[in-house]
Amino acid sequence: MSQPTGAVAPSDQRLAKGARSRASIARHAADVASVEGLNGVTIGRLATDLGISKSGIATLFGSKESLQLAAVKAGREVFIAQIITPSLAEPRGLPRVRGLVDRWFVHVTEPAFPGGCFRTAALTEFDSKPGPVRDALAADHDAWLTFLAQEIGKAQQDGALPTADPELLAFELDAVITAANTARQLGEDAKIAMARRIADRLLSA
């Protein structure tokens, strides 16, 4: 799929270079999507932004939908690297939940994407458009809330949080931090502070 037409047998080096190009184009697609929406991610726009040919991008991705799916994967990888991976070195239970929530707030208030949280922008854009892109976004969202609920459940087993439905608390944190993301993009700092107070209250015993 990444083999250029008319090329000689691909070397490992060329495959590696193609994978790097693909990843960096997908990452830029996620940046564009955070501001313009995933429907603003076009092969022409990316070619102009990155100074590469449209045919080069078309060869790597094939279709707009495949490019959108690659942007979703790139957005997910940033979230995992920034928020989830560091938590694996933290003590399980409440310290890990607090670490996840702290980094999630940083992800929202000092966003890696120019338009704020990629997931929030893309999920709201696609929630009424059935298809593979919506499915990928919903699966990413579910995986995150499931992971968070598992960690909340461990904190509850430790007695560090009141016994309650861990999925409900994960949903509530997601709602509040998603609202903080919108507030941040609108420059409403007082609401970010409110979201932080609510999250602190939800995570106190």
% helix, strand, coil for the chain, step of 5: 75, 0, 25
16 lies in the binding site for its own copies (CB under 8 A): no
Decide whether 117 or 155 has the Cβ nearer to its own copies: 117
What DSSP letter does each residue of 132-175 carry, written as one string?
A: HHHHHHHHHHHHHHHHHHHHHHHHHHTTSS-SS-HHHHHHHHHH
Torsions phi, psi for 147 (to 5 deg): -60, -45
The residue from 3, 39, 48, 146 that contacts its own copies (CB under 8 A) is 39
- The CB-of-30 to its own copies minimum distance in angstroms stands at 13
* CA 158/CA 152 separation, integer angstroms: 10
Minimum distance between the CB of residue 199 and its own copies, rounded to whole angstroms?
11
The reply on whether position 13 binds its own copies by CB under 8 A is no
Over the window 125 to 164, marking each residue x when it contacts its own copies by CB under 8 A and - when it does not, the resulting string is x-xxx----x---x--------------------------
Q: Which is nearer to its own copies, 60 or 121 (CB)?
A: 121
Q: What are phi and psi of 86, to 5 degrees?
A: -60, -25
Burial code (b: 16+ CB inside 10 Å, e: under 16) for 51-77 equals eeeeebbebbbeeeebbbbbbbbbbbe
Q: Looking at 15, 35, 81, 106, which residue binds its own copies (CB under 8 A)?
A: 35
Q: How far apart are CA 86 and CA 62, in angstroms?
A: 34
- Site size toward its own copies (CB under 8 A) is 39
**What is the 8-class DSSP label of residue 97?**
H
Candidate residues 168, 189, 200, 204; the one interacting with its own copies per rule CB under 8 A: 168
62 binds its own copies (CB under 8 A): no
Q: Which is nearer to its own copies, 158 or 200 (CB)?
A: 200
d(CA 141, CA 134): 10
| Residue 174 binds its own copies, judged by CB under 8 A | yes
Residues near its own copies (CB under 8 A) are 34-37, 39-40, 114-116, 120-121, 123-125, 127-129, 134, 138, 165, 167-168, 171-172, 174-176, 178-179, 182, 185-186, 188, 190-191, 194-195, 197-198
